[in-house]
Amino acid sequence: MPVERDPQEVETRYLHDFVDVKDACVLEVGCGDGRLTWRYAAAAARVAALDVSAWGPAQARQDCPAALRSRVHFMQARAETLPFPRETFDRAILAWSL
């Protein structure tokens, strides 16, 4: 496993430059183990982060900081059949998933 992923936080800067997640309801597709989720979730109102794998969301739930647990939900799901009603989210982040 990598010991350090993007220590200069270049990806984080680009993410925040490109999309404002403050107080937004965010859908993240391809969350894996939550690597990217931790870089924006504190600013969002609510995050639904999903991945096709079972291990990713399971690991992310385990690692989720206590302060985020009520707002960030990890689940196994496919982007082609999202388990949400219409017009649920303000932002969607495709994270390495196209």
Partner 1 sequence: MVHALKDIWRVLAPGGVLLDLRPYSASWPVEIVARERVIRLGAVDDSLALTDDIAASKAMQQVVDDGWYVREENGTFSYDWYWDTLDDLRTHVEERWSPITLPDAVYRRGQRLLADLNGVRVRVRLHMIIGRYRKQ
Least distance from partner 1 to the Cβ atom of residue 68, Å: 19
Q: Closest Cα to residue 56, out of 77, 70, 40, 83?
A: 77
Is residue 60 within 8 A of residue 74, CB to CB? The reply is yes
Least distance from partner 1 to the Cβ atom of residue 21, Å: 9
Footprint on residues 6-65 left by partner 1 (CB under 8 A)? 6-8, 10-11, 14-15, 18-19, 25, 27, 29, 36
CA–CA separation, 49 vs 25, rounded Å?
A: 11
Nearer CB in complex with partner 1: 62/88 = 88
Is residue 19 within 8 A of residue 91, CB to CB? The reply is yes
List contacts with partner 1 (CB under 8 A).
1-8, 10-11, 14-15, 18-19, 25, 27, 29, 36, 78-82, 84-98
